[in-house]
């Protein structure tokens, strides 16, 4: 019998896990927790148990679950207008574009929904810019990317993934990409030729395990790209919007990319909202009919996006991330944990590498879950910590004790 959402809300955890196992494609391997409610940095499962969220939906929840100002903006907009498509104007999208362009110090915004769509849009932008502005011969545009990258899951985007599990079985792939080692400016310089239109890079690699590149890498990349007339495209979908203690992670090196790619937290954890932000000489290459998205920049997402930008303008989340992140990294290092080979990060975005003797990072995350902390492993051996930026020092101190216990006992 079909179930109403009210009935579903009363269904037991084990039944729901069984339904997911049976009816949902197995493209994820979630921790066996079934969340029913959330507020701020905390979630509650269907049995009423509370957990500290230390993943924050891969940084889509930088401002926490159900931030009152974001929820209010969404509610207001739900009662007015939700969708027009871009066939007509609406009274919020232009304002969202102006606010986001201003935040990033750029001229223009192209709004999409998911991160992968924004990356695809950036790739199309760079190619068209290459042909129309740089003068690359038709069909020859090349984009340089970094080893260990994560930019999304579409066929073109996984075409330049170096993770076999992202690629195996999904070819044939899109040509036109060259992979260089992450953090190696000389390799970037060597890979650039006259057909190169862009270097697409994460300022910090998130899915690879919160990999912070060597100091000066992004500055060198900026210089090389400027010198060679190549667009520097920063995928700040996960690193941006407060996560590292600044609005954009490139700020740590004083670098301004030609193209910002944004997503995740831009929609406040409520709506999918992504964007490519750049100057007119770059985004101006698009003419009507050449690219688009039915839902891209819809009024509901725009209303939330405007409020997200307002939150960022106040700077409190960036400061909290910097201060709390520095505290947590230091506290983890001071704990001198066995089996931990490296602790790195920037702001409240931390990767803890474990040696294989400690078991898998997944097993650690399962034990953390038993202690009411939700964190996510990446690859075999890294536990990443990225709580909502509204988390309190008290919450983090509470979590630290448990994290230390679990890793020490591993
Ligand atoms: C999550 C992510 C993406 C893809 O975003 P989706 O919304 O999942 O499509 C792209 N790039 C980076 C750096 C990401 O972290």
Select which of 264, 295, 377, 395 is catalytic.
264
Distance CA 24, CA 12 (A): 17
Select which of 235, 258, 353, 395 is catalytic.
235
Give the C-alpha distances (Å, rounded to integers) separating 253 from 157, 204, 218, 219, 387. Answer: 26, 12, 7, 6, 24
**By mean pLDDT, which of 9-13, 29-33, 147-151 is the weakest?**
9-13
Check whether residue 228 and residue 325 sit in a common domain: no
379 band by pLDDT with thresholds 50, 70 and 90: confident
Residue 297 Cα to ligand 1 middle (Å):
17
Give 252-269 pLDDT, tens digit per residue: 999 999 999 999 999 999
- Domain final residue, candidates 279, 314, 349: 314
Q: Tell me, what's the pLDDT at 197? A: 99
Check whether residue 106 and residue 235 sit in a common domain: yes
Average pLDDT over residues 307-324: 98
Check whether residue 289 and residue 302 sit in a common domain: yes
Q: Are 43 and 50 contacting, i.e. CB atoms less than 8 angstroms apart?
A: yes
Q: Is 95 exposed, middle or buried (0-12, 13-18, 19+ CB in 10 A)?
A: middle
Check whether residue 390 and residue 331 sit in a common domain: yes
Give 233-250 pLDDT, tens digit per residue: 999 999 999 999 999 999
E strand or H helix that includes residue 48? none
- Structure-block tokens of residue 242: 């407060």
Largest CA distance in the chain: 65
Say if residue 276 is preceded by a cis peptide, omega within 30 of 0.
no
Which CATH number belongs to the domain containing residue 97 in this structure?
3.40.640.10
Residue-wise DSSP of 149-171? ----SSHHHHTT---HHHHTT--
Check whether residue 100 and residue 29 sit in a common domain: no
Is residue 113 lining ligand 1, measured as CB closer than 6 Å? no
- Domain final residue, candidates 253, 284, 314: 314
Residue 171 Cα to ligand 1 middle (Å):
20
Is 286 a known active-site residue?
no
358 band by pLDDT with thresholds 50, 70 and 90: confident
Average pLDDT over residues 113-125: 98
Residue 192 Cα to ligand 1 middle (Å):
25
Distance CA 361, CA 342 (A): 13
Residue 237 Cα to ligand 1 middle (Å):
6
Check whether residue 247 and residue 129 sit in a common domain: yes
Distance CA 163, CA 298 (A): 33
Q: Tell me, what's the pLDDT at 189? A: 98
Check whether residue 251 and residue 363 sit in a common domain: no
DSSP-derived pairing of the beta strands 350-354 and 259-262:
unpaired
Select which of 150, 177, 286, 295 is catalytic.
150
Give 274-310 pLDDT, tens digit per residue: 999 999 999 999 999 999 999 999 999 999 999 999 9
Is residue 114 lining ligand 1, measured as CB closer than 6 Å? yes
DSSP tag of 137: P
DSSP tag of 40: B
Q: Tell me, what's the pLDDT at 1? A: 45
Q: Are 347 and 321 contacting, i.e. CB atoms less than 8 angstroms apart?
A: yes
Distance CA 255, CA 220 (A): 9
| pTM for this entry | 0.97
Residue 53 Cα to ligand 1 middle (Å):
19
Is 264 a known active-site residue?
yes
Check whether residue 362 and residue 244 sit in a common domain: no
Is residue 237 lining ligand 1, measured as CB closer than 6 Å? yes
Specify the residue for token string 């066996």.
Answer: 32
Q: Tell me, what's the pLDDT at 222? A: 98
Which CATH number belongs to the domain containing residue 378 in this structure?
3.90.1150.10
Check whether residue 130 and residue 259 sit in a common domain: yes
Is residue 202 lining ligand 1, measured as CB closer than 6 Å? yes
User: Would you give the distance in Å from CA 287 to the centre of its chain?
Assistant: 28
- Domain final residue, candidates 276, 291, 314: 314
From 60, 115, 149, 384, give the residue whose CB has the most ligand 1 atoms within 8 Å, as the site to mutate. Answer: 115
Give 183-228 pLDDT, tens digit per residue: 999 999 999 999 999 999 999 999 999 999 999 999 999 999 999 9
Give 16-59 pLDDT, tens digit per residue: 999 999 999 999 999 999 999 999 999 999 999 999 999 999 99
Check whether residue 271 and residue 402 sit in a common domain: no
Check whether residue 182 and residue 321 sit in a common domain: no
Residue 265 Cα to ligand 1 middle (Å):
11
Is residue 205 lining ligand 1, measured as CB closer than 6 Å? no
Give 163-185 pLDDT, tens digit per residue: 999 999 999 999 999 999 999 99
Is 106 a known active-site residue?
no
Structural domain boundaries, residue 55: 5-60+316-408
Specify the number of domains making up the chain: 2
Average pLDDT over residues 107-114: 98
Is residue 238 lining ligand 1, measured as CB closer than 6 Å? yes
Check whether residue 346 and residue 363 sit in a common domain: yes
């Amino acid at each position: 019998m079909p179930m109403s959402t009210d009935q579903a809300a009363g269904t037991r955890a084990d039944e729901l896990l069984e339904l997911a196992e049976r009816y949902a494609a197995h493209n994820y391997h979630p921790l066996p927790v079934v969340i029913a409610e959330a507020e701020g940095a905390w979630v509650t499962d269907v049995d009423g148990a509370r957990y500290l969220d230390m993943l924050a939906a891969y940084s889509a929840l930088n401002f926490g679950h159900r931030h009152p100002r974001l929820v209010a903006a969404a509610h207001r907009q739900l009662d007015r207008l939700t969708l027009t498509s871009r066939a007509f104007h609406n009274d919020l999208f232009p304002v969202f574009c102006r606010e986001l362009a201003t935040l990033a110090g750029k001229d223009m915004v192209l709004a999409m929904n998911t991160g992968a769509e924004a990356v695809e849009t950036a790739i199309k932008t760079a190619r068209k810019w290459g042909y129309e502005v740089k003068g690359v011969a038709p069909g020859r545009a090349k984009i340089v990317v970094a080893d260990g990258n994560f930019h999304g899951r579409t066929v073109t985007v996984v075409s330049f993934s170096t993770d076999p599990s992202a690629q195996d079985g999904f070819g044939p792939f899109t040509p036109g990409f060259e992979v260089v080692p992450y953090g190696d400016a000389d390799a970037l310089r060597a890979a650039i030729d006259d057909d190169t239109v862009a270097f697409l890079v994460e300022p910090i690699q998130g899915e690879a395990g919160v990999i912070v590149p060597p100091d000066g890498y992004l500055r060198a990349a900026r210089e090389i790209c400027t010198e060679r007339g190549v667009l520097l495209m920063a995928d700040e979908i996960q690193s941006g919007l407060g996560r590292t203690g600044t609005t954009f992670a490139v700020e740590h090196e004083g670098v301004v990319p030609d193209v910002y790619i944004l997503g995740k937290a831009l929609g406040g954890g409520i709506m999918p909202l992504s964007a490519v932000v750049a100057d007119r000489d770059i985004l101006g290459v698009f003419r009507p009919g050449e690219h688009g998205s039915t839902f891209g920049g819809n009024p509901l997402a725009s209303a939330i996006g405007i409020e997200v930008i307002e939150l960022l303008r106040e700077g409190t989340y960036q400061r909290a991330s910097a201060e709390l992140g520095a505290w947590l990294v230091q506290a983890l290092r001071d704990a001198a944990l066995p089996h931990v080979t490296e602790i790195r990060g920037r702001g409240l975005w931390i990767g803890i590498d474990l040696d294989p003797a400690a078991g898998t990072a997944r097993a650690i995350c399962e034990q953390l879950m038993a202690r009411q902390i939700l964190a996510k492993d990446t690859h075999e051996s890294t536990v990443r910590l990225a709580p909502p930026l509204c988390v309190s020092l008290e919450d983090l101190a509470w979590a630290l004790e448990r994290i230390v216990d679990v890793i020490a006992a591993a």
